[in-house]
Amino acid sequence: MAGGPFGKIDFLDDNLVAFDPLDGSSIFSANFAVGAIFGVWAGDRLLNRRGAEQAAAAYAVFGPRTTLVVALPDPGSSAGQVVQEYALAHEDGSSTWSLIRKNIQIGEKKVFAPANLRAAAENTVYRDLISQFITDEYTLRYTGGFVPDVHHILTKVLKQKRLYENQREQLYNQQFNMEQTSFAMESIKDTAQTVQAMKAAGAELKTAFKKQDLNIDSIEKMQDEMADLMVDHLGYYLQHSSAMSREVDMHNELQDVMGQSFGVPDDIDESELMGELDALEEELAMEAENPTAGAVPSYLQVENPPGTPIVPPQDILSRPRRNRRSSSIRGAISETYVSPANLILPVFIHDGEKNIPISSMPGVDRLGWRHGLLSSVAEARSYGVNSVVLFPKTPEDLKTRTGEEAFNPDGLVQRSIRLLKDKYPDLEIYTDVALDPYNSDGHDGIVRDDGVILNDETVEFLCRQAVSQARAGADCVSPSDMMDGRVGAIRRALDREGFSHVSIMSYTAKYASAYYGPFRDALASAPKAGQEHRVIPSNKKTYQQDPANYREALREARLDEAEGADIMMVKPGLPYLDVIRLLRDNSSLPIAAYHVSGEYAMLKAAAERGWLDEREAVLEALMSFRRAGSDIILTYYATQAAKWMAGED
């Protein structure tokens, strides 16, 4: 390519080009400007090349007109490069590039384009950066396209720079003209005074020398010639003082307007107005005599209710309530945020087509595994909740003492995973790893005849279950069984089967809580009564944590982290906020909190009776999880909470 915007750069022999052909494709239909981005590197290799190594770079803007901004090497310049802008013109059936800006430079300007505002809800560092720009009064430029935003900032700065330079030049010229005119007027005044002085001196000379042998006529003639000369000089300055005269005229007009008196409208009571002004004058005088008494002007004061005690202001320098006085300041300094991205929606599924309401969880259904499941997930996704965890209701005839249905490749969970991934490939799917939905005894592990929950044997089946779920397409397996060593065993099993990319969210601190009742009702997974010649524990206290224990959670957390857990969970959530904070302060892993079925049912029951505001109570609960240190919240309110966050009822 011998000419054009890229000068003499030879693309064919010495350089390689990398380009994005259409930046801003998502905003193309909105008729916004879009663009293309080009990078040119010398040599025959593109991989691992830095931007600073480019031989040239460019971007094209496709909008009301087509322009190309090119950065080229320029050894003769101080910067070593030059940036130029070309415009594409169409004439007589041909297209030509014309140079419209020779040397573009970005001046100092408080403008920023954040590229992806949605990321601010998910990344606190990015959100803090944007907040700092806003605090520093930067102007936001955001169309959703990288090229148009960059070009807007670049050309906007250039236009404003030129405007500023033109205005500065005009002001300088105006100032110079004013100074010249002022000097001329002063010279006129001096000349006039000189003429008057010379006339007076001439008269005195006539009187003084009338009796002398002098040629008075000659003196008068010389005086007249000098006066004529001074008058000519005066006329010259008067001729060139028109600009000053215009300024004087404008000044006089302003003085005339300011000196006019204006009548009071008929509907104004002048006496009442004067009375108010007199009262205000007296008040200002009193405030001047006693400055502390009038800290707030009377017209800004709100009267206290009758009976309020009159007390002097406290001598307090720091008043925290100042930072709570308005929704704007409260929002600006809020320390904790909750967004739909923080939420996981737990869904109950069954091997049928119709949704079945769960009586102990109003508003929650056992979903038909096809249409009901897809519909529920679609609604959640429409409000920004893109993560679900599956809990199956297994038919009683498929349950056994060892729970082999848990790793059936055509089981309910496995089929549901494949269905969801086929419809929504980017959906984040979490699965529950435990035997209680499949165990005829209702326990998370295999129950021996004497009532002992077998640990290592159960872990073997949990590994098979996790691998089966990963093979179906699960993104994250979540062992909730609380067997010892299960996290490490599952991690090794997944890696051995080629699923090293599948995450583990461990139920690290799962307490033997009374808040699980509605959940067990939904899945019919409560421990069963003992049978003849067998002992079946009526609770899960031999493997779930004691609610009285706090430090034990830290021990479990250290074991899970060492065994390869990617996320650690605390369950239940609200009664164990202290445990969430304990794990947050002692681990860098993400922390999840489960807003369990009992907590959900309590809020629903109180709201139905009008005892509390459901929306405010739920959002406060979610905020408390985040404030305590959780990154992820599993809640049956996920979709509804996302609607509330979006401003819907």
Residues with a catalytic annotation lie at 510, 571
The helix or strand, by DSSP H or E, that contains position 365, with its residue range, turns out to be strand 365-368
Distance CA(126)–CA(118), nearest Å, equals: 10
CB 58 within 8 A of CB 69: yes
User: Are the CB atoms for 485 and 463 separated by under 8 Å?
Assistant: no
Q: Which amino acid is at 12?
A: L
Q: CB within 8 A of 600, min separation 6: which ones?
A: 361, 364, 518, 635, 636, 637
Q: Which two tokens stand for residue 65?
A: 């007109």
List CB contacts of 474: < 8 A, sequence separation 6 or more: 417, 429, 430, 431, 502
Q: Dihedrals φ, ψ of 145, to 5°?
A: -120, 135
- Please name the residues in contact with 151: beta carbons below 8 A apart, sequence gap of 6 or more: 33, 35, 59, 61, 67, 69
- CA-CA-CA-CA torsion for 464, 467, 468, 471, nearest 10 degrees? -160
Q: Which amino acid is at 426?
A: D
Q: Which of 314, 292, 454, 480 is nearest to 389 (CA)?
A: 480
Residue 462: closest CA among 449, 448, 475, 444: 444
Give how far the C-alpha of residue 486 lies from the chain's centroid of Cα atoms, to the nearest Å. 40
The token duo for 370 is 């096809």
Helices 614-628 and 597-608, axial angle in degrees (round to 10): 150
> Residue 211 carries which side chain, given as an amino acid letter?
K
Cβ burial, residue 378 (10 Å; 0-12/13-18/19+): exposed
DSSP string spanning 58-99? EEEEESSSEEEEEEEE-TTSSSSEEEEEEEEEEETTEEEEEE
